[in-house]
Amino acid sequence: MKKKIFTLPFIIILILAANVFGQEKNTSEKSNDKYLKEVEVMAEPIGGISAIQKKVIYPEIAKRAGIEGKVYIQAFIDEKGDVVKTIMLKGIGSGCDEAAMKAVKETKFTPAKQRDKLVKVQVVVPVLFKLNKSKK
C-alpha cells in the first residue's frame, strides 16, 4: 500500500513538470513571432496616411447619419511591409470601422528596421472620416 501512495504523487509531479516544460517551449516559439512597438526605422504606409485615406470607402449609412470621427486601427506589419493582421482599437460605428480596417489591410508599408535588419512591427493608424459639407 505504501508503494502505491508513493508512486501516485510522483506521477502527478512528472505530469506537472511535463506541462511546465511544454509551456516554456511554446512561449519561446511565440517570442520569435513578436511584433515590436519601437524600432530605429518604423514602418510607414507607402504614400503616407493620405494613401490610406484614398482607399477608404465612406459607408453610405454613415454618410446619411452624419457620422464623422477618427477610427484607430492597430496594424501588424511583417518584414516585407505587408499588413498581416489588424485590430480596431477605437471605432465610430456605422460601417466606418470595417471600412478603415479594409483600407489599412490593402496598404503596403515600408518595412521597419532595427540594427539594419528588417523586423515585424505593430503600428496604430488613425483613419479620418469627415463629410464634405456643401454650403448653401
Average pLDDT score over the chain: 85
Residues 83, 119, single domain; the answer is: yes
The pLDDT score that the predictor gives to residue 33 is 72
Domain total of the chain:
2
- Kindly report, residue by residue over 5-64, the tens digit of the pLDDT: 555 555 555 454 555 455 444 443 344 479 999 999 999 999 999 999 999 999 999 999
Q: pTM above 0.75? A: no
- Cα separation of 83 and 123, whole Å? 10
Does pLDDT of 81 surpass 70?
yes
Which CATH number does the domain housing residue 122 bear? 3.30.1150
Amino acid, res. 41: V
Residues 79, 51, single domain; the answer is: yes
Residues 107, 56, single domain; the answer is: yes
Give the structural domain span for 2. 1-33
Please tell me the least confidently modeled range out of 101-105, 114-118, 131-135: 131-135
The pLDDT score that the predictor gives to residue 3 is 52
Residue 61 lies in a domain: yes
Residues 6 or more apart in contact with residue 75 via CB below 8 angstroms: 83, 85, 86, 104, 105, 109, 122, 123, 124, 125
